[in-house]
């Protein structure tokens, strides 16, 4: 990934890297997730976990590394990028 990489390119590369069809990139979206360590969830550092609290779908042509450089979460919060199925995002939006 470089500052010139678009979210669309990164999703496509991730699918290819994990043995999925990169042509299916339209079914997936890169999401900018802000959260905190803890929460008892599975992933993350040993003894910790990750509790994502705010999620935003990154536009296909946005540049995630530029976003990361220009906007930092407040103290006590962290950010990560996650790839999610678009249908799951739509379903979650219907519940709000």
pLDDT of residue 78: 92
pLDDT of residue 44: 45
In a domain, 87, yes or no: yes
Question: How many angstroms separate the CA atoms of 76 and 91, rounded?
Answer: 29
Percent of the chain past pLDDT 70, that is, above it, reads 88
Given a cut of 60, whether residue 37 has pLDDT beyond it is yes
pLDDT mean across residues, the chain: 87
b/e burial code for range 54-92 (CB count within 10 A of at least 16 → b): eeebbeeeebbeebeeeeeeeeeeeeebeebeeeeeeee
In a domain, 2, yes or no: no
pLDDT of residue 84: 95
In the numeric block, the tokens 């996650």 are attached to 82
Q: Which residue has the higher pLDDT, 76 or 38?
A: 76
62 DSSP 8-state letter: S
In the numeric block, the tokens 């979460």 are attached to 73
Mean pLDDT confidence for 23-43: 82
In a domain, 44, yes or no: no
CATH code for the domain of 26: 3.10.20.90
Given a cut of 60, whether residue 40 has pLDDT beyond it is no
Q: pTM, whole model, 2 decimals?
A: 0.80
Mean pLDDT confidence for 38-63: 76
- Structural domain tally of the chain? 1
In a domain, 16, yes or no: yes
DSSP run (H or E) holding 15: helix 7-17
């Amino acid at each position: 990934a470089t500052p010139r990489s678009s979210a669309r390119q990164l999703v496509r590369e991730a699918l290819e890297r994990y043995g999925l069809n990169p042509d299916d990139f339209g079914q997936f979206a890169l999401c900018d997730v802000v959260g905190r360590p803890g929460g008892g969830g599975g992933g993350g550092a040993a003894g910790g976990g990750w509790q994502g609290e705010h999620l935003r779908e990154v536009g296909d042509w946005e540049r995630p590394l530029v976003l990361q450089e220009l906007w930092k979460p407040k103290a006590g919060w962290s950010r990560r990028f996650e790839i999610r199925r678009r249908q799951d995002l739509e379903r979650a939006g219907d519940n709000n």
